[in-house]
Amino acid sequence: MRTSLEGAIARETGTLYAFVERNFRLVKRYLSWEIVFLFYNVINALTIGLIGYQVPAGQRNTTILYLVIGALLWGYLSILFDEVANSISYERWEGTIEYTFMAPIRRLTHLLGTCLYGVTYGIARTLVVLVAVALFFHLSLSHANLWAAVVVLLVSSLSFMGLGLIAAVLPLLSTERGAQATHIIQGVILLISGVYYPVTVLPHWVQWLSWLSPATYSLEMARSALLNDAGLGDLWLSLLKLAIIGVLLIPVGLCIFVVAERWAMRTGRLKRNG
């Protein structure tokens, strides 16, 4: 019994690792593009941070940090969302979708492997941007609670994995339109979540949408931790809410995916040309 359980765990771990390893190998093969994207991410974060120089000197550090937190967290969450949501599109473009879907693996393990890659890849890229931003702006983190910020980042990942899984269904249903729809979803989340401004500046008819976005809570908590030294004791209730959203979104995303997969198998969409 114990041996079969250990064997099952080893098998599932091996499958998880397969997706992480393959995707990092692809990163290596597309290294020049990775450098270009990373360069763009760094420049983007710096230009957004530079907007903070318009405010009086006394508020400058806080404003730059406010903006940079938005750029970094959004950078991370959008990478995670992109990688999970577009994982099916990549398989279609390469023509491997049928082979991946007829492999004897659990869909849960397949998708969690993709999520695990998204988290590690997103953290790696965000760290590079963070180092560049810190060096450029000489930011003071005297009021920052870094550990709390890391916890916020990890808990936020859960809900974005869930959103990514729901969005990954779209390319399964329709190759081109699905990929287009994932970009629209990403754009709406960027607009409503208060990435570079408080959500209170949004028009009233849009503002209520911000409360539906997990990114709104992630950004609020990350800013509290890094600007006001808020610790886990201050943030636990919001963290719990965000964790519950994540824990609900992941199985919901998975269920929708499995239903969509059955639909694709019934209609013949589970192939390279969709």
Nearer to other proteins, 108 or 154 (CB): 108
- The answer to whether 21 contacts other proteins (rule: CB under 8 A) is yes
Binding residues for other proteins restricted to 63-102, rule: CB under 8 A: 94-96, 98-102
The C-alpha atoms of residue 114 and residue 92 are separated, in whole angstroms, by 15
Binding residues for other proteins restricted to 106-165, rule: CB under 8 A: 106
Q: Which region among 164-172, 205-213, 244-252, 262-270 touches other proteins (by CB under 8 A)?
A: 262-270
- The answer to whether 183 contacts other proteins (rule: CB under 8 A) is no
Residue with tokens 């990890």: 154
DSSP 8-state code for residue 201:
G
The C-alpha atoms of residue 141 and residue 27 are separated, in whole angstroms, by 32
Residue with tokens 């950004």: 219
CB 22 within 8 A of CB 121: no
Structure tokens given for 58: 């006394």
- The answer to whether 262 contacts other proteins (rule: CB under 8 A) is yes
- The answer to whether 266 contacts other proteins (rule: CB under 8 A) is yes
Nearer to other proteins, 95 or 251 (CB): 95
The C-alpha atoms of residue 26 and residue 122 are separated, in whole angstroms, by 15
Nearer to other proteins, 99 or 236 (CB): 99
- The answer to whether 32 contacts other proteins (rule: CB under 8 A) is no
Nearer to other proteins, 31 or 51 (CB): 31
Shortest Cβ 14–other proteins spacing (Å):
5
CB count in 10 Å sphere of residue 180? 12
CB 230 within 8 A of CB 143: no
Residue 204 sits at the vertex; the CA angle it makes with 198 and 209, to the nearest 5 degrees, is 70
Nearer to other proteins, 236 or 262 (CB): 262
Residue with tokens 């080893």: 10
The C-alpha atoms of residue 274 and residue 106 are separated, in whole angstroms, by 22
Shortest Cβ 101–other proteins spacing (Å):
7
Nearer to other proteins, 90 or 196 (CB): 90
Question: What is the total count of residues that contact other proteins (CB under 8 A)?
Answer: 31
Nearer to other proteins, 183 or 271 (CB): 271
CB 176 within 8 A of CB 154: no
- Select the residue interacting with other proteins from 56, 58, 203, 268 (CB under 8 A): 268
- Nearest partner of 125 among 80, 69, 163, 179, judged by Cα: 80
- Select the residue interacting with other proteins from 9, 51, 55, 103 (CB under 8 A): 103
Binding residues for other proteins restricted to 43-62, rule: CB under 8 A: none
DSSP 8-state code for residue 106:
-
Written as one letter, the residue type at 202 is: L
Shortest Cβ 89–other proteins spacing (Å):
13
**Residues that bind other proteins in the complex, under the rule CB under 8 A:** 11, 14-15, 17-18, 21-22, 25-26, 29-30, 94-96, 98-106, 262, 265-268, 270-272
